[in-house]
Structure 1
């Protein structure tokens, strides 16, 4: 155990949330899943609608937890167990720990929200800021009422930058999350009708998103993607709160923005551009293709400059960027002597991210006999907009040059038929991977995307486990690095 710089101590926990410990202790890590507990960790026994972490306290203690945070003594645990740390309610205590973790560190906090690209921006920001100081980020896409305070409470006391993803799925959530983070800088990516089924309208979503500005520290900065139809409302909301606003555009020579490309070029495996970043001209390469990543990179560089970090080093870091699993990562595979490209965008889908994914596959070159193939599951949480949102994809599918669609759900199947494409429908993912492998041709490009609940990540996993990773792909004859893990 590292007692010189532990993550949490009994005295700090008492200060942060009035926790009562039977004895002094130090913890190196924090876990809410007993299966992940290592010796020296603090186990936080959260309660939810369908689970109670108190039922796993015995397991956590058996694995060597330094302490367990509880609201009552679990069954089978002695009242005088010295590692029990008691609070009135565990989740509010965790939120207080999150706020304390920000207060104790010499940290600049950055919050990332929007309808698309949040996790990718967090991932790229961490890479870009790492050379300028110790950087801590959200775990994967931990952005809800539990994941966010967990990520914050895990922040080391010496962190220089804290980068946190903020998501919403219900009205009334954003203000509380913003006040826990107290961000110095907020990045707002492109906005659209994600989770609209849980809101009265798209307008209600935009209003809720703007609440992220409520918790900002005085003198804060809002970095806003300015190309979308709802950007002006976010800009006005930030200005009304007295924040500095930096507008970021992916359109070349858009001098109405503060950050924009002067010129850009795309390949199937990367993008290169020269950009005006708030008056500083930067030329750099992005290790991922597509206009969405172009915008992401500009948002990142705007944030790096605003925090006073190393802008040149940040730009260099983007050349080695690799998308995270499920968020556009490219794999080059071979099956039955057929080499093909797999774009794993399986984590989730909404109208904005679907359009971005279709733009990306449409920009990829394919040979005369090769195809662009969509593997799509219906989008979710769109409420009354569900039918219209899927129908609107027909033109995008056609413009992307898709030849065929493997569809889970009537929405995607209907859109593909309206686009005049060949369609194979599936009720679930059970036989989908097998069918894809039996259908694939040399140099095909497969894009996998849909609602998270459809389980398309399992299809991707099966393809990666079954096919062979290749370093040669396509008619271009170029050697490529395999990203499969």
Structure 2
């Protein structure tokens, strides 16, 4: 039987007023699609939907109780067990802070312009070799995802890994103060969300907010290869950090890659980890993934874990859905490979995905299906046009482009690479489906708002999945 995570006494101590029969909950959820029996359902009012509209569905799915706002309680009095509070989201934050206060887990936090999710997942794998590890689900890294992840941490966890993201300055600081990490990792600084900042220096400062929550004597893990290393270092020095561990290929890096050999499905890395040599396999393709593995070993070293044992876990790394997942599909005349990078996109991650496409062993053609990158502000048109060199270097044989900003790339491409262009991913879908042939490797990438993921779904519907394939990843 699953041990209780939150009891009636816990909820009442935090100010919840219980209506109906509630004794304990074994989990916390905000989504009736994934809720489990025994969960507390938190009815958060979002921009598009109000969780209070789903309270009855949550109870029908055997939620232990629903946390609802005082003003909604009357209309839901017959729904089932309720925990009535002034503000459900604020109450979930209080659950999260309480969970953090009572856990004995060693806590890590990860941010960065790119690589957050991949690094978080790699840390989950590596730390699980040493003990029970709790980590953020998917990209639950915002104002509700972080407290939700905290509220879910089992009492017996040995490690907790929290991904923290932002679109604007000031968003990371309150979240890292809630998480209070012992180790804080910044993967890299790139012009992502630059449309919300005056310059990339503002992005560096916003990411460096993660150090504000460090526990006294904690460790800041920083990318030594990044041009903004010194700026991040200054922020770390002004925090509670007692130590900084740098990673990268720079000769002064504390965790330094000595050799990286990339392959179509994985990479081999030889690294110096604080004076000790580690040789290991990263089970996800791409040089960027190999470099991110250095951040993982730096974080493990910060916790005093053996680097070679930690590195062993990286062989199991695979790509999450939408971040490099490889899907082998059945064409009537043979199989072809789809590489799903459709979760999101920015100039750095786009270049990384294109570089990985170059390493794919394809019997047929390499095809890139690219949609607009968002939140780039006035640099948007140039950022898209400037991808042309990376596309050529990717060894792509054919390019399909969607969106008004991708028109800049389309116009900059050599004529021999042009497959089709459309104003939207939806309009491009038919051309892509008609173009694929057996042996092709088709990489699909764009920002989430473009809905380029629907092209991935359309490929699956028309051709059907063959067998599990090796995966490549990008966080």
What range is the shorter-chain TM-score in?
Answer: over 0.9
Structure 2 equivalent of residue 349 of structure 1: 345
Structure 2 equivalent of residue 391 of structure 1: 385
Unaligned runs of 5+ residues in structure 2 are: none
Q: Which of the numbers 321, 327, 332 marks the counterpart of 2:317?
A: 321
Structure 2 equivalent of residue 435 of structure 1: 431
**1:322, distance to aligned residue in structure 2 (A):** 1.2
**1:162, distance to aligned residue in structure 2 (A):** 0.8
Alpha carbons of structure 1 residues 451 and 12: separation in structure 2 relative to 1, 3 Å = same
For 1:86 and 1:76, locate their aligned partners in 2 and report how far apart those are by CA, in whole Å.
12
For 1:36 and 1:321, locate their aligned partners in 2 and report how far apart those are by CA, in whole Å.
24
Check if 1:272 corresponds to 2:268: yes
Structure 1 equivalent of residue 15 of structure 2: 18
Q: Helix, strand or coil: the match of 1:223?
A: strand
**1:310, distance to aligned residue in structure 2 (A):** 4.6
Q: Could you report, residue by residue, the CA deviation over 1:78-98 in whole angstroms, capped at 9, with x for unpaired residues?
A: 38x872212222211111111
Unaligned runs of 5+ residues in structure 1 are: 472-479
RMSD: 2.2
Structure 2 equivalent of residue 380 of structure 1: 374
Structure 2 equivalent of residue 262 of structure 1: 258
Check if 1:305 corresponds to 2:304: no
Query: How many residues in Structure 1 have an aligned counterpart in Structure 2?
Result: 467
**1:362, distance to aligned residue in structure 2 (A):** 2.4
**1:470, distance to aligned residue in structure 2 (A):** 4.9
**1:445, distance to aligned residue in structure 2 (A):** 2.2
Check if 1:454 corresponds to 2:453: no
**1:185, distance to aligned residue in structure 2 (A):** 0.6
Alpha carbons of structure 1 residues 59 and 205: separation in structure 2 relative to 1, 3 Å = same
Q: Mapping of 1:79-90 within 5 angstroms? A: 83-90=81-88
**1:114, distance to aligned residue in structure 2 (A):** 0.5
Q: Which of the numbers 211, 232, 235 marks the counterpart of 2:233?
A: 235
Name whichever of 302-311 and 127-136 sits farther off: 302-311
Aligned partners of 1:142 and 1:165 also within 8 Å: yes
Aligned partners of 2:107 and 2:160 also within 8 Å: yes
Structure 2 equivalent of residue 160 of structure 1: 158
Q: Helix, strand or coil: the match of 1:402?
A: coil
Q: Mapping of 1:168-207 within 5 angstroms? A: 168-207=166-205
Aligned partners of 1:417 and 1:423 also within 8 Å: no
Q: Could you report, residue by residue, the CA deviation over 1:387-429 in whole angstroms, capped at 9, with x for unpaired residues?
A: 1211221222122222321111132232133131314112333
For 2:373 and 2:422, locate their aligned partners in 1 and report how far apart those are by CA, in whole Å.
15
For 1:109 and 1:407, locate their aligned partners in 2 and report how far apart those are by CA, in whole Å.
42
Q: Could you report, residue by residue, the CA deviation over 1:56-83 in whole angstroms, capped at 9, with x for unpaired residues?
A: 223323332222212214353338x872
Q: Helix, strand or coil: the match of 1:97?
A: helix
For normalisation by structure 2, the TM-score amounts to 0.92
Name whichever of 424-433 and 107-116 sits farther off: 424-433
Structure 1 equivalent of residue 246 of structure 2: 247
Q: Helix, strand or coil: the match of 1:222?
A: strand
Q: Could you report, residue by residue, the CA deviation over 1:203-258 in whole angstroms, capped at 9, with x for unpaired residues?
A: 22211111111111101111112212222211221123252111110x3xx32101
Q: Mapping of 1:201-220 within 5 angstroms? A: 201-220=199-218
Check if 1:282 corresponds to 2:247: no
For normalisation by structure 1, the TM-score amounts to 0.90
Structure 1 equivalent of residue 75 of structure 2: 76
Aligned partners of 2:181 and 2:215 also within 8 Å: yes
For 1:417 and 1:213, locate their aligned partners in 2 and report how far apart those are by CA, in whole Å.
43
For 2:46 and 2:330, locate their aligned partners in 1 and report how far apart those are by CA, in whole Å.
44
